[in-house]
Amino acid sequence: MSDEPAVENARKDFIREIIDEDLASGKHEGTVTRFPPEPNGYLHIGHAKSICLNFGIAQEYGGRCHLRFDDTNPTKEDTEYVDSIKEDVRWLGFDWGDNLYFASDYFEQIYEWAVHLIKEGKAYVDDQNAEQIREARGNLQEPGTDSPFRDRSVEENLDLFQRMKDGEFGDGEKVLRARIDMAHANMNLRDPVLYRIAHAHHHRTGDAWCIYPMYDFAHGQSDALEHITHSLCTLEFEHHRPLYDWFLDNLPVPSRPRQIEFSRLNLNYTVMSKRKLLQLVQENHVSGWDDPRMPTISGIRRRGYPAEAIRDFCKTVGITKFKGTNDIGLLENAVRQVLNKTANRYMAVLDPIKVTVTNYPEDQVEEMEAMINPEDPDAGMRKVPFCRDLYIEREDFMEDAPKKFFRLSVDKEVRFRCAYWLKCNEVIKDESGEVVELLCTYDPETRGGENPPDGRKVKGTIHWVSARHAVDAEVRVYDRLFSDEDPEGGEGSFLDNMNPDSLHLVENAKLEPCLADVGVGECVQFERLGYFAVDPDTTADRKVFNRTVPLRDSWAKKQKK
Ligand code: ATP
Ligand code: MG
Protein backbone atom coordinates (compact mmCIF):
# COMPACT_ATOMS: atom_id res chain seq x y z
CA MET A 1 0.00 0.00 0.00
CA SER A 2 1.42 3.38 -0.88
CA ASP A 3 0.40 6.24 1.33
CA GLU A 4 3.24 8.64 0.89
CA PRO A 5 2.22 12.29 0.78
CA ALA A 6 2.15 14.14 -2.51
CA VAL A 7 5.54 15.60 -3.28
CA GLU A 8 5.46 18.83 -5.22
CA ASN A 9 8.52 18.26 -7.36
CA ALA A 10 7.98 14.55 -7.66
CA ARG A 11 9.80 12.82 -10.49
CA LYS A 12 7.75 12.60 -13.62
CA ASP A 13 5.99 9.29 -14.08
CA PHE A 14 7.13 6.93 -16.85
CA ILE A 15 4.36 8.04 -19.20
CA ARG A 16 5.31 11.70 -19.01
CA GLU A 17 8.94 10.67 -19.53
CA ILE A 18 7.98 8.88 -22.74
CA ILE A 19 6.06 11.95 -23.88
CA ASP A 20 9.05 14.19 -23.13
CA GLU A 21 11.24 11.93 -25.28
CA ASP A 22 8.73 11.85 -28.12
CA LEU A 23 8.50 15.63 -28.14
CA ALA A 24 12.29 16.10 -27.86
CA SER A 25 12.99 13.67 -30.70
CA GLY A 26 10.45 15.36 -32.94
CA LYS A 27 8.32 12.23 -33.21
CA HIS A 28 5.32 14.35 -32.22
CA GLU A 29 4.78 18.08 -32.20
CA GLY A 30 2.20 17.98 -29.45
CA THR A 31 0.19 15.54 -27.38
CA VAL A 32 -3.26 14.23 -28.12
CA THR A 33 -4.74 11.91 -25.50
CA ARG A 34 -8.24 10.57 -24.97
CA PHE A 35 -10.49 9.29 -22.22
CA PRO A 36 -12.58 6.44 -23.71
CA PRO A 37 -15.42 5.36 -21.40
CA GLU A 38 -17.96 2.80 -22.45
CA PRO A 39 -21.39 4.32 -21.70
CA ASN A 40 -22.62 1.28 -19.78
CA GLY A 41 -22.50 2.67 -16.25
CA TYR A 42 -21.55 5.67 -14.15
CA LEU A 43 -17.93 6.71 -13.70
CA HIS A 44 -16.14 5.72 -10.51
CA ILE A 45 -13.07 6.90 -8.66
CA GLY A 46 -10.91 4.52 -10.75
CA HIS A 47 -11.99 6.35 -13.89
CA ALA A 48 -10.98 9.60 -12.17
CA LYS A 49 -7.38 8.35 -12.19
CA SER A 50 -7.52 7.89 -15.96
CA ILE A 51 -9.32 11.22 -16.45
CA CYS A 52 -6.75 13.11 -14.35
CA LEU A 53 -3.94 11.43 -16.31
CA ASN A 54 -5.30 12.04 -19.81
CA PHE A 55 -6.73 15.51 -19.28
CA GLY A 56 -3.84 16.42 -16.97
CA ILE A 57 -1.31 15.67 -19.73
CA ALA A 58 -3.30 17.80 -22.17
CA GLN A 59 -3.19 20.72 -19.71
CA GLU A 60 0.48 20.37 -18.84
CA TYR A 61 1.69 19.98 -22.43
CA GLY A 62 -0.73 22.39 -24.05
CA GLY A 63 -2.18 19.47 -25.97
CA ARG A 64 -5.74 18.25 -26.22
CA CYS A 65 -7.71 15.44 -24.71
CA HIS A 66 -10.69 13.89 -26.44
CA LEU A 67 -13.72 12.51 -24.71
CA ARG A 68 -14.62 9.47 -26.77
CA PHE A 69 -17.46 7.14 -25.99
CA ASP A 70 -16.53 3.57 -26.81
CA ASP A 71 -20.05 2.63 -27.78
CA THR A 72 -19.66 -0.63 -29.67
CA ASN A 73 -21.88 -2.76 -27.45
CA PRO A 74 -25.48 -1.60 -28.07
CA THR A 75 -27.24 -3.89 -25.61
CA LYS A 76 -25.61 -2.44 -22.49
CA GLU A 77 -25.32 1.20 -23.43
CA ASP A 78 -27.60 4.12 -22.82
CA THR A 79 -27.70 7.91 -23.24
CA GLU A 80 -28.35 8.23 -19.49
CA TYR A 81 -24.77 7.04 -19.04
CA VAL A 82 -23.44 9.36 -21.74
CA ASP A 83 -24.97 12.35 -19.97
CA SER A 84 -23.75 11.36 -16.52
CA ILE A 85 -20.21 10.75 -17.80
CA LYS A 86 -20.06 14.20 -19.38
CA GLU A 87 -21.31 15.82 -16.19
CA ASP A 88 -18.77 13.94 -14.08
CA VAL A 89 -15.77 14.81 -16.28
CA ARG A 90 -16.79 18.48 -16.23
CA TRP A 91 -17.31 18.41 -12.48
CA LEU A 92 -13.82 16.97 -12.02
CA GLY A 93 -12.61 20.19 -13.63
CA PHE A 94 -11.80 19.09 -17.17
CA ASP A 95 -12.92 20.31 -20.57
CA TRP A 96 -12.82 18.44 -23.86
CA GLY A 97 -13.75 21.57 -25.83
CA ASP A 98 -14.87 20.56 -29.33
CA ASN A 99 -13.38 17.12 -28.97
CA LEU A 100 -16.38 14.97 -28.22
CA TYR A 101 -16.43 11.74 -30.22
CA PHE A 102 -18.23 8.43 -30.43
CA ALA A 103 -16.75 5.21 -31.75
CA SER A 104 -20.14 4.76 -33.44
CA ASP A 105 -19.31 7.78 -35.63
CA TYR A 106 -16.64 5.58 -37.21
CA PHE A 107 -18.80 2.52 -37.91
CA GLU A 108 -18.76 3.16 -41.68
CA GLN A 109 -14.97 3.59 -41.80
CA ILE A 110 -14.36 0.59 -39.55
CA TYR A 111 -16.61 -1.48 -41.81
CA GLU A 112 -14.63 -0.42 -44.86
CA TRP A 113 -11.44 -1.43 -43.10
CA ALA A 114 -12.90 -4.86 -42.42
CA VAL A 115 -13.64 -5.17 -46.14
CA HIS A 116 -10.04 -4.08 -46.80
CA LEU A 117 -8.73 -6.94 -44.64
CA ILE A 118 -10.98 -9.43 -46.46
CA LYS A 119 -9.66 -8.25 -49.81
CA GLU A 120 -6.10 -8.70 -48.56
CA GLY A 121 -6.90 -12.27 -47.47
CA LYS A 122 -6.51 -11.22 -43.84
CA ALA A 123 -10.08 -11.75 -42.63
CA TYR A 124 -12.75 -14.40 -43.11
CA VAL A 125 -16.33 -15.16 -42.20
CA ASP A 126 -16.59 -18.05 -39.75
CA ASP A 127 -19.79 -20.08 -39.33
CA GLN A 128 -18.68 -21.63 -36.05
CA ASN A 129 -20.59 -20.59 -32.97
CA ALA A 130 -19.02 -18.92 -29.93
CA GLU A 131 -18.59 -22.23 -28.13
CA GLN A 132 -16.81 -23.89 -31.06
CA ILE A 133 -14.56 -20.89 -31.53
CA ARG A 134 -13.60 -20.94 -27.87
CA GLU A 135 -12.79 -24.65 -27.97
CA ALA A 136 -10.68 -24.34 -31.10
CA ARG A 137 -8.60 -21.54 -29.63
CA GLY A 138 -6.35 -23.89 -27.66
CA ASN A 139 -4.71 -22.64 -24.51
CA LEU A 140 -1.37 -21.32 -23.29
CA GLN A 141 0.24 -24.76 -23.67
CA GLU A 142 -1.47 -25.87 -26.88
CA PRO A 143 -1.95 -24.15 -30.21
CA GLY A 144 -5.45 -23.63 -31.56
CA THR A 145 -6.87 -25.40 -34.58
CA ASP A 146 -7.84 -23.70 -37.81
CA SER A 147 -11.50 -23.12 -38.48
CA PRO A 148 -12.92 -25.22 -41.34
CA PHE A 149 -14.04 -21.89 -42.87
CA ARG A 150 -10.61 -20.26 -42.67
CA ASP A 151 -9.78 -20.76 -46.34
CA ARG A 152 -12.91 -19.32 -47.92
CA SER A 153 -12.23 -17.28 -51.02
CA VAL A 154 -12.10 -13.51 -50.92
CA GLU A 155 -15.25 -13.38 -53.06
CA GLU A 156 -17.20 -15.69 -50.77
CA ASN A 157 -16.06 -13.73 -47.70
CA LEU A 158 -17.03 -10.40 -49.27
CA ASP A 159 -20.45 -11.78 -50.17
CA LEU A 160 -21.09 -13.28 -46.73
CA PHE A 161 -19.90 -10.20 -44.88
CA GLN A 162 -22.18 -8.03 -47.01
CA ARG A 163 -25.07 -10.34 -46.19
CA MET A 164 -24.20 -10.23 -42.50
CA LYS A 165 -24.46 -6.45 -42.72
CA ASP A 166 -27.76 -6.72 -44.65
CA GLY A 167 -29.32 -8.65 -41.83
CA GLU A 168 -29.64 -12.04 -43.52
CA PHE A 169 -28.36 -13.96 -40.50
CA GLY A 170 -29.36 -14.22 -36.89
CA ASP A 171 -27.30 -13.25 -33.83
CA GLY A 172 -24.30 -15.53 -33.40
CA GLU A 173 -24.75 -17.37 -36.72
CA LYS A 174 -21.59 -15.91 -38.21
CA VAL A 175 -18.67 -13.72 -37.23
CA LEU A 176 -15.89 -12.01 -39.10
CA ARG A 177 -12.42 -12.99 -37.87
CA ALA A 178 -8.92 -11.76 -38.58
CA ARG A 179 -6.76 -14.36 -40.29
CA ILE A 180 -3.55 -14.13 -38.26
CA ASP A 181 -2.18 -17.29 -36.65
CA MET A 182 -4.05 -19.97 -34.69
CA ALA A 183 -0.77 -21.06 -33.08
CA HIS A 184 0.33 -17.61 -31.97
CA ALA A 185 1.87 -17.51 -28.48
CA ASN A 186 -0.40 -14.56 -27.68
CA MET A 187 -3.94 -15.91 -27.57
CA ASN A 188 -5.32 -12.53 -28.64
CA LEU A 189 -3.76 -13.07 -32.06
CA ARG A 190 -5.37 -16.45 -32.70
CA ASP A 191 -7.76 -15.18 -35.34
CA PRO A 192 -9.65 -12.71 -33.10
CA VAL A 193 -13.27 -11.91 -33.85
CA LEU A 194 -13.65 -8.52 -35.57
CA TYR A 195 -17.43 -8.30 -36.07
CA ARG A 196 -20.40 -9.97 -34.48
CA ILE A 197 -24.06 -9.95 -35.41
CA ALA A 198 -26.38 -8.22 -32.93
CA HIS A 199 -29.88 -7.25 -33.98
CA ALA A 200 -30.03 -4.58 -31.33
CA HIS A 201 -31.02 -0.95 -31.18
CA HIS A 202 -28.03 1.35 -30.70
CA HIS A 203 -28.44 4.51 -28.61
CA ARG A 204 -27.00 6.62 -31.44
CA THR A 205 -27.12 4.71 -34.74
CA GLY A 206 -30.58 3.29 -34.06
CA ASP A 207 -31.28 0.29 -36.33
CA ALA A 208 -28.78 1.24 -39.05
CA TRP A 209 -26.46 -1.62 -38.13
CA CYS A 210 -26.94 -5.23 -37.11
CA ILE A 211 -23.21 -5.99 -37.06
CA TYR A 212 -20.95 -4.34 -34.52
CA PRO A 213 -17.15 -4.21 -34.32
CA MET A 214 -15.46 -5.75 -31.30
CA TYR A 215 -13.70 -3.42 -28.88
CA ASP A 216 -10.25 -4.42 -30.18
CA PHE A 217 -11.23 -3.75 -33.79
CA ALA A 218 -12.63 -0.31 -32.96
CA HIS A 219 -10.35 1.14 -30.34
CA GLY A 220 -6.99 1.51 -32.07
CA GLN A 221 -8.61 2.60 -35.33
CA SER A 222 -10.59 5.27 -33.46
CA ASP A 223 -7.33 6.42 -31.89
CA ALA A 224 -5.71 6.58 -35.34
CA LEU A 225 -8.64 8.48 -36.86
CA GLU A 226 -8.42 11.10 -34.10
CA HIS A 227 -4.62 11.37 -34.40
CA ILE A 228 -4.16 10.33 -30.80
CA THR A 229 -0.43 10.35 -30.01
CA HIS A 230 -0.45 8.39 -26.74
CA SER A 231 -3.26 5.97 -26.03
CA LEU A 232 -3.15 5.39 -22.28
CA CYS A 233 -4.98 2.43 -20.82
CA THR A 234 -4.85 0.06 -17.87
CA LEU A 235 -2.62 -3.02 -17.58
CA GLU A 236 -5.23 -5.58 -18.58
CA PHE A 237 -4.79 -4.35 -22.17
CA GLU A 238 -1.08 -5.11 -22.23
CA HIS A 239 -1.64 -8.42 -23.99
CA HIS A 240 -3.92 -6.71 -26.49
CA ARG A 241 -1.19 -4.31 -27.59
CA PRO A 242 0.26 -6.68 -30.26
CA LEU A 243 -3.23 -6.88 -31.75
CA TYR A 244 -3.67 -3.11 -31.49
CA ASP A 245 -0.43 -2.76 -33.44
CA TRP A 246 -1.36 -5.50 -35.92
CA PHE A 247 -4.45 -3.59 -37.02
CA LEU A 248 -2.49 -0.35 -37.34
CA ASP A 249 0.16 -2.19 -39.40
CA ASN A 250 -2.36 -3.85 -41.70
CA LEU A 251 -4.81 -1.01 -42.35
CA PRO A 252 -4.35 2.27 -44.23
CA VAL A 253 -4.80 4.34 -41.06
CA PRO A 254 -4.04 8.08 -41.08
CA SER A 255 -1.82 8.13 -37.98
CA ARG A 256 0.14 5.88 -35.67
CA PRO A 257 -0.85 6.11 -31.99
CA ARG A 258 1.13 4.32 -29.30
CA GLN A 259 -0.61 2.35 -26.56
CA ILE A 260 0.94 2.59 -23.08
CA GLU A 261 -0.45 0.74 -20.07
CA PHE A 262 -0.49 1.76 -16.40
CA SER A 263 -1.88 0.07 -13.31
CA ARG A 264 -5.49 0.63 -12.41
CA LEU A 265 -6.62 2.19 -9.19
CA ASN A 266 -7.90 -0.21 -6.55
CA LEU A 267 -9.17 0.89 -3.16
CA ASN A 268 -9.77 -1.22 -0.09
CA TYR A 269 -13.24 -1.33 1.53
CA THR A 270 -14.93 -0.89 -1.83
CA VAL A 271 -15.72 -2.55 -5.15
CA MET A 272 -15.05 -0.83 -8.42
CA SER A 273 -16.26 -3.03 -11.23
CA LYS A 274 -19.22 -1.53 -13.03
CA ARG A 275 -20.96 -4.89 -13.04
CA LYS A 276 -20.89 -5.01 -9.24
CA LEU A 277 -21.87 -1.36 -8.87
CA LEU A 278 -24.82 -2.03 -11.19
CA GLN A 279 -25.78 -5.00 -9.03
CA LEU A 280 -25.75 -2.82 -5.89
CA VAL A 281 -28.09 -0.40 -7.65
CA GLN A 282 -30.41 -2.95 -9.25
CA GLU A 283 -30.81 -5.00 -6.07
CA ASN A 284 -31.46 -1.86 -4.00
CA HIS A 285 -28.52 -2.30 -1.66
CA VAL A 286 -27.97 1.42 -2.22
CA SER A 287 -30.37 4.18 -3.24
CA GLY A 288 -28.88 4.62 -6.73
CA TRP A 289 -25.68 5.26 -8.69
CA ASP A 290 -25.30 8.51 -6.74
CA ASP A 291 -25.84 7.02 -3.30
CA PRO A 292 -23.24 8.85 -1.17
CA ARG A 293 -21.69 5.53 -0.15
CA MET A 294 -20.92 4.53 -3.74
CA PRO A 295 -17.39 4.98 -5.15
CA THR A 296 -18.97 6.61 -8.20
CA ILE A 297 -18.08 10.19 -9.05
CA SER A 298 -21.75 11.15 -8.68
CA GLY A 299 -21.89 9.39 -5.28
CA ILE A 300 -18.84 11.05 -3.83
CA ARG A 301 -19.92 14.41 -5.24
CA ARG A 302 -23.27 14.04 -3.46
CA ARG A 303 -21.46 13.02 -0.31
CA GLY A 304 -19.53 16.30 -0.43
CA TYR A 305 -16.08 15.23 -1.63
CA PRO A 306 -14.58 18.23 -3.45
CA ALA A 307 -13.25 17.70 -6.99
CA GLU A 308 -9.96 19.23 -5.88
CA ALA A 309 -9.52 16.47 -3.29
CA ILE A 310 -10.01 13.79 -5.93
CA ARG A 311 -7.44 15.42 -8.20
CA ASP A 312 -5.02 15.69 -5.25
CA PHE A 313 -5.61 12.06 -4.40
CA CYS A 314 -4.93 10.91 -7.97
CA LYS A 315 -1.69 12.90 -7.93
CA THR A 316 -0.63 11.28 -4.66
CA VAL A 317 -1.36 7.80 -5.94
CA GLY A 318 0.69 8.48 -9.07
CA ILE A 319 1.08 6.52 -12.30
CA THR A 320 3.06 3.28 -12.28
CA LYS A 321 2.97 -0.25 -13.63
CA PHE A 322 2.80 -1.81 -10.15
CA LYS A 323 -0.41 -3.58 -9.23
CA GLY A 324 -1.63 -2.70 -5.77
CA THR A 325 -4.44 -1.52 -3.59
CA ASN A 326 -4.57 1.93 -2.06
CA ASP A 327 -5.96 2.70 1.35
CA ILE A 328 -9.30 4.50 1.20
CA GLY A 329 -8.05 6.48 4.23
CA LEU A 330 -5.73 8.25 1.82
CA LEU A 331 -8.71 9.50 -0.19
CA GLU A 332 -10.56 10.53 2.98
CA ASN A 333 -7.51 12.45 4.15
CA ALA A 334 -7.29 14.31 0.84
CA VAL A 335 -10.94 15.27 1.38
CA ARG A 336 -10.21 16.53 4.92
CA GLN A 337 -7.25 18.56 3.75
CA VAL A 338 -9.29 20.47 1.18
CA LEU A 339 -12.35 20.90 3.39
CA ASN A 340 -10.26 22.11 6.31
CA LYS A 341 -9.24 25.06 4.12
CA THR A 342 -12.59 25.73 2.49
CA ALA A 343 -15.46 24.62 4.73
CA ASN A 344 -17.21 27.14 6.95
CA ARG A 345 -17.65 26.17 10.59
CA TYR A 346 -21.00 25.87 12.33
CA MET A 347 -22.39 24.15 15.38
CA ALA A 348 -24.89 21.31 15.14
CA VAL A 349 -26.13 18.82 17.68
CA LEU A 350 -26.99 15.38 16.31
CA ASP A 351 -28.22 13.70 19.49
CA PRO A 352 -29.68 16.56 21.54
CA ILE A 353 -30.15 16.78 25.26
CA LYS A 354 -31.77 19.88 26.70
CA VAL A 355 -29.84 22.35 28.86
CA THR A 356 -31.54 25.09 30.87
CA VAL A 357 -29.36 27.92 32.13
CA THR A 358 -31.26 28.67 35.34
CA ASN A 359 -29.48 31.93 36.21
CA TYR A 360 -29.78 33.39 32.70
CA PRO A 361 -32.59 35.95 32.21
CA GLU A 362 -35.67 34.36 30.67
CA ASP A 363 -36.13 36.85 27.83
CA GLN A 364 -32.51 37.62 27.06
CA VAL A 365 -30.77 36.62 23.82
CA GLU A 366 -27.14 37.44 23.13
CA GLU A 367 -25.44 37.31 19.75
CA MET A 368 -22.15 35.54 20.31
CA GLU A 369 -19.37 35.92 17.75
CA ALA A 370 -17.56 32.99 16.22
CA MET A 371 -15.08 32.65 13.37
CA ILE A 372 -16.54 31.35 10.15
CA ASN A 373 -13.28 29.62 9.26
CA PRO A 374 -10.13 29.84 11.37
CA GLU A 375 -8.11 28.66 8.34
CA ASP A 376 -9.39 31.60 6.32
CA PRO A 377 -9.42 34.84 8.36
CA ASP A 378 -11.00 36.70 5.42
CA ALA A 379 -14.15 34.64 5.88
CA GLY A 380 -14.94 36.84 8.91
CA MET A 381 -17.26 36.23 11.85
CA ARG A 382 -20.74 34.84 12.29
CA LYS A 383 -23.31 35.51 14.99
CA VAL A 384 -24.61 32.67 17.13
CA PRO A 385 -27.62 33.29 19.42
CA PHE A 386 -27.29 32.26 23.08
CA CYS A 387 -30.23 32.08 25.48
CA ARG A 388 -31.57 30.21 28.49
CA ASP A 389 -32.59 27.11 26.48
CA LEU A 390 -29.88 25.15 24.76
CA TYR A 391 -29.05 21.74 23.35
CA ILE A 392 -25.81 19.86 23.75
CA GLU A 393 -24.69 16.49 22.42
CA ARG A 394 -25.84 13.62 24.63
CA GLU A 395 -22.36 12.11 24.61
CA ASP A 396 -20.88 15.37 25.93
CA PHE A 397 -22.53 14.72 29.29
CA MET A 398 -21.81 11.97 31.80
CA GLU A 399 -23.38 11.76 35.21
CA ASP A 400 -20.64 9.78 36.96
CA ALA A 401 -17.71 10.86 34.90
CA PRO A 402 -14.23 9.41 35.23
CA LYS A 403 -11.42 11.86 35.93
CA LYS A 404 -10.33 12.09 32.32
CA PHE A 405 -13.81 13.06 31.06
CA PHE A 406 -13.29 16.73 30.22
CA ARG A 407 -16.82 17.43 29.09
CA LEU A 408 -19.89 18.20 31.19
CA SER A 409 -20.79 16.29 34.33
CA VAL A 410 -22.52 17.00 37.65
CA ASP A 411 -20.87 19.78 39.67
CA LYS A 412 -18.32 20.23 36.87
CA GLU A 413 -17.74 23.23 34.68
CA VAL A 414 -17.07 23.27 30.94
CA ARG A 415 -16.65 25.92 28.27
CA PHE A 416 -19.54 26.31 25.84
CA ARG A 417 -17.76 27.32 22.67
CA CYS A 418 -17.70 31.12 22.06
CA ALA A 419 -20.36 31.63 24.79
CA TYR A 420 -19.80 31.08 28.55
CA TRP A 421 -18.56 28.59 31.09
CA LEU A 422 -21.45 26.53 32.43
CA LYS A 423 -21.69 24.30 35.45
CA CYS A 424 -24.18 21.45 35.74
CA ASN A 425 -26.06 21.46 39.05
CA GLU A 426 -28.91 19.04 38.54
CA VAL A 427 -29.96 16.21 36.26
CA ILE A 428 -33.60 15.60 35.36
CA LYS A 429 -34.61 12.09 34.25
CA ASP A 430 -37.78 10.50 32.93
CA GLU A 431 -39.46 7.40 34.44
CA SER A 432 -37.11 5.09 32.60
CA GLY A 433 -34.12 6.82 34.11
CA GLU A 434 -33.00 8.48 30.90
CA VAL A 435 -31.52 11.96 31.27
CA VAL A 436 -33.87 14.50 29.67
CA GLU A 437 -32.60 17.82 30.91
CA LEU A 438 -29.63 19.41 32.60
CA LEU A 439 -30.00 22.40 34.90
CA CYS A 440 -26.91 24.56 34.68
CA THR A 441 -25.66 27.98 35.74
CA TYR A 442 -23.40 30.23 33.74
CA ASP A 443 -20.62 32.58 34.88
CA PRO A 444 -21.21 36.09 33.40
CA GLU A 445 -17.48 36.81 33.74
CA THR A 446 -16.62 34.22 31.07
CA ARG A 447 -18.40 35.89 28.14
CA GLY A 448 -17.09 34.72 24.77
CA GLY A 449 -15.69 31.67 26.54
CA GLU A 450 -12.86 33.72 28.10
CA ASN A 451 -11.08 32.69 31.29
CA PRO A 452 -12.57 34.28 34.46
CA PRO A 453 -10.48 36.76 36.46
CA ASP A 454 -10.17 34.40 39.46
CA GLY A 455 -7.80 32.09 37.56
CA ARG A 456 -10.16 29.06 37.50
CA LYS A 457 -9.45 26.56 34.72
CA VAL A 458 -11.50 24.20 32.58
CA LYS A 459 -10.14 21.53 30.29
CA GLY A 460 -13.02 21.00 27.92
CA THR A 461 -14.94 22.95 25.30
CA ILE A 462 -18.20 21.61 23.90
CA HIS A 463 -20.55 22.72 21.14
CA TRP A 464 -24.18 23.70 21.64
CA VAL A 465 -27.17 25.15 19.84
CA SER A 466 -29.85 27.53 21.06
CA ALA A 467 -33.05 25.50 21.40
CA ARG A 468 -35.21 28.54 20.62
CA HIS A 469 -33.39 29.34 17.40
CA ALA A 470 -32.37 25.89 16.18
CA VAL A 471 -33.11 24.70 12.65
CA ASP A 472 -34.30 21.08 12.48
CA ALA A 473 -32.59 18.77 10.07
CA GLU A 474 -32.13 15.21 8.95
CA VAL A 475 -28.53 14.05 8.95
CA ARG A 476 -27.39 10.93 7.13
CA VAL A 477 -24.27 9.70 8.85
CA TYR A 478 -22.44 7.54 6.35
CA ASP A 479 -19.68 5.08 6.92
CA ARG A 480 -17.88 2.72 4.58
CA LEU A 481 -20.15 0.54 2.47
CA PHE A 482 -18.10 -2.59 3.19
CA SER A 483 -16.67 -3.63 6.53
CA ASP A 484 -14.12 -5.95 4.94
CA GLU A 485 -10.91 -4.53 3.57
CA ASP A 486 -11.17 -6.81 0.54
CA PRO A 487 -14.91 -7.28 -0.11
CA GLU A 488 -14.26 -9.42 -3.18
CA GLY A 489 -11.75 -11.69 -1.47
CA GLY A 490 -12.70 -14.86 0.35
CA GLU A 491 -15.60 -17.19 -0.27
CA GLY A 492 -19.11 -16.11 -1.04
CA SER A 493 -20.45 -12.93 -2.53
CA PHE A 494 -19.03 -9.45 -2.03
CA LEU A 495 -22.53 -8.58 -0.77
CA ASP A 496 -21.84 -10.66 2.36
CA ASN A 497 -19.22 -8.09 3.32
CA MET A 498 -21.47 -5.05 3.30
CA ASN A 499 -21.22 -2.91 6.42
CA PRO A 500 -24.64 -3.10 8.17
CA ASP A 501 -23.93 0.30 9.79
CA SER A 502 -22.99 2.18 6.64
CA LEU A 503 -25.96 4.52 7.13
CA HIS A 504 -27.05 5.91 10.49
CA LEU A 505 -30.09 8.13 10.06
CA VAL A 506 -30.45 11.10 12.43
CA GLU A 507 -33.94 12.51 12.02
CA ASN A 508 -33.89 15.16 14.66
CA ALA A 509 -30.65 17.11 14.50
CA LYS A 510 -30.55 20.69 15.79
CA LEU A 511 -28.57 23.22 13.79
CA GLU A 512 -27.24 26.69 14.41
CA PRO A 513 -29.64 29.09 12.61
CA CYS A 514 -27.00 30.29 10.08
CA LEU A 515 -27.17 26.83 8.53
CA ALA A 516 -30.63 27.61 7.17
CA ASP A 517 -28.91 29.58 4.39
CA VAL A 518 -26.46 26.93 3.22
CA GLY A 519 -27.33 25.73 -0.28
CA VAL A 520 -27.52 22.25 -1.81
CA GLY A 521 -24.09 20.82 -2.54
CA GLU A 522 -22.29 23.10 -0.11
CA CYS A 523 -20.05 21.40 2.40
CA VAL A 524 -19.53 22.75 5.94
CA GLN A 525 -17.89 21.64 9.13
CA PHE A 526 -20.07 20.83 12.12
CA GLU A 527 -17.59 21.70 14.85
CA ARG A 528 -16.13 18.68 16.61
CA LEU A 529 -18.18 16.27 14.46
CA GLY A 530 -16.95 16.35 10.89
CA TYR A 531 -17.76 17.68 7.44
CA PHE A 532 -21.32 17.61 6.15
CA ALA A 533 -22.82 18.48 2.76
CA VAL A 534 -26.36 19.62 1.97
CA ASP A 535 -28.14 16.83 0.09
CA PRO A 536 -30.39 17.48 -2.93
CA ASP A 537 -33.25 15.81 -1.01
CA THR A 538 -33.44 19.07 0.97
CA THR A 539 -36.83 20.80 0.67
CA ALA A 540 -38.00 24.30 1.60
CA ASP A 541 -38.91 23.16 5.10
CA ARG A 542 -36.49 20.36 5.74
CA LYS A 543 -32.73 20.40 5.42
CA VAL A 544 -30.94 17.13 4.74
CA PHE A 545 -27.21 16.76 5.32
CA ASN A 546 -24.82 13.95 4.38
CA ARG A 547 -21.80 13.28 6.51
CA THR A 548 -18.91 13.66 4.11
CA VAL A 549 -16.15 12.51 6.43
CA PRO A 550 -15.54 12.65 10.19
CA LEU A 551 -12.81 14.95 11.48
CA ARG A 552 -10.48 12.08 12.24
CA ASP A 553 -9.98 8.62 10.83
CA SER A 554 -11.80 6.38 13.30
CA TRP A 555 -11.04 3.27 11.19
CA ALA A 556 -7.30 3.68 11.72
CA LYS A 557 -7.94 3.37 15.47
CA LYS A 558 -10.26 0.38 15.05
CA GLN A 559 -7.70 -1.44 12.92
CA LYS A 560 -4.95 -0.92 15.52
CA LYS A 561 -7.14 -2.59 18.11
P1 ATP B 1 -14.95 -1.33 -15.07
O2 ATP B 1 -13.94 -2.41 -14.83
O3 ATP B 1 -15.27 -0.52 -13.88
O4 ATP B 1 -16.18 -1.85 -15.73
P5 ATP B 1 -13.98 -0.44 -17.60
O6 ATP B 1 -12.53 -0.50 -17.87
O7 ATP B 1 -14.78 -1.47 -18.24
O8 ATP B 1 -14.23 -0.33 -16.04
P9 ATP B 1 -14.42 1.79 -19.31
O10 ATP B 1 -15.61 2.65 -19.44
O11 ATP B 1 -14.06 0.92 -20.45
O12 ATP B 1 -14.60 0.95 -17.99
O13 ATP B 1 -13.16 2.64 -18.88
C14 ATP B 1 -12.79 3.86 -19.46
C15 ATP B 1 -11.34 4.11 -19.18
O16 ATP B 1 -11.12 4.19 -17.78
C17 ATP B 1 -10.45 3.00 -19.70
O18 ATP B 1 -9.35 3.60 -20.37
C19 ATP B 1 -10.03 2.27 -18.47
O20 ATP B 1 -8.74 1.74 -18.63
C21 ATP B 1 -10.06 3.36 -17.41
N22 ATP B 1 -10.31 2.77 -16.09
C23 ATP B 1 -11.33 1.99 -15.73
N24 ATP B 1 -11.21 1.58 -14.45
C25 ATP B 1 -10.05 2.13 -13.99
C26 ATP B 1 -9.34 2.08 -12.75
N27 ATP B 1 -9.82 1.39 -11.71
N28 ATP B 1 -8.18 2.76 -12.65
C29 ATP B 1 -7.71 3.47 -13.68
N30 ATP B 1 -8.31 3.56 -14.88
C31 ATP B 1 -9.47 2.89 -15.05
MG1 MG C 1 -13.73 -1.31 -20.60
Substitution site in 52, 234, 240, 319 for ligand 1 pocket (most atoms within 8 Å of beta carbon): 234
Which percentage of the chain shows pLDDT scores above 70?
97
Ligand 1 atom index nearest CA of 232: 18
Tell me: the pLDDT tens digits for 523-547?
Answer: 999 999 999 999 999 999 899 999 9
Q: CA nearest 477: which of 524, 393, 546, 537?
A: 546
- How would CATH label the architecture of 346-466? Beta Barrel (2.40)
The domain spans of the chain are 14-104+216-331, 108-214, 346-466, 474-560
The residues carrying an active-site annotation are 38, 264, 274
Distance in Å, CA 37 to ligand 2 centroid: 7
Binding site membership of 54 for ligand 1 (Cβ less than 6 Å): no
Distance in Å, CA 262 to ligand 2 centroid: 14
Nearest CA to ligand 1 atom 22: 47
Binding site membership of 273 for ligand 1 (Cβ less than 6 Å): yes
Tell me: the pLDDT tens digits for 108-141?
Answer: 999 999 999 999 999 999 999 999 999 999 999 9
**Is residue 234 exposed (0-12), middle (13-18) or buried (19+ Cβ within 10 Å)?**
middle
The CATH number of 108-214 is which of 3.40.350.10, 3.90.800.10, 3.40.190.10, 3.40.640.10? Answer: 3.90.800.10
The CATH number of 14-104+216-331 is which of 3.40.50.620, 3.90.1150.10, 3.40.1640.10, 3.30.70.20? Answer: 3.40.50.620
Nearest CA to ligand 1 atom 14: 37
Distance in Å, CA 78 to ligand 1 centroid: 17
pTM of the predicted model as reported, rounded to 2 decimal places: 0.94
Tell me: the pLDDT tens digits for 180-216?
Answer: 999 999 999 999 999 999 999 999 999 999 999 999 9
Assigned CATH for 474-560: 2.40.240.10
Q: Which of 6-15, 142-151, 446-455, 544-553 has the lowest mean pLDDT?
A: 6-15
Neighbours of 109 (CB within 10 A): 14
Position 8 scores a pLDDT of: 46
Binding site membership of 37 for ligand 1 (Cβ less than 6 Å): yes
Handedness of CA 229, 233, 235, 239 (dihedral sign): negative
| b/e 492-507 (16+ beta carbons within 10 angstroms → b) | eebeebbbeebbeebe
Binding site membership of 487 for ligand 1 (Cβ less than 6 Å): no
Distance in Å, CA 257 to ligand 2 centroid: 19
Task: Judge whether 108-214 and 346-466 match in fold.
Answer: no
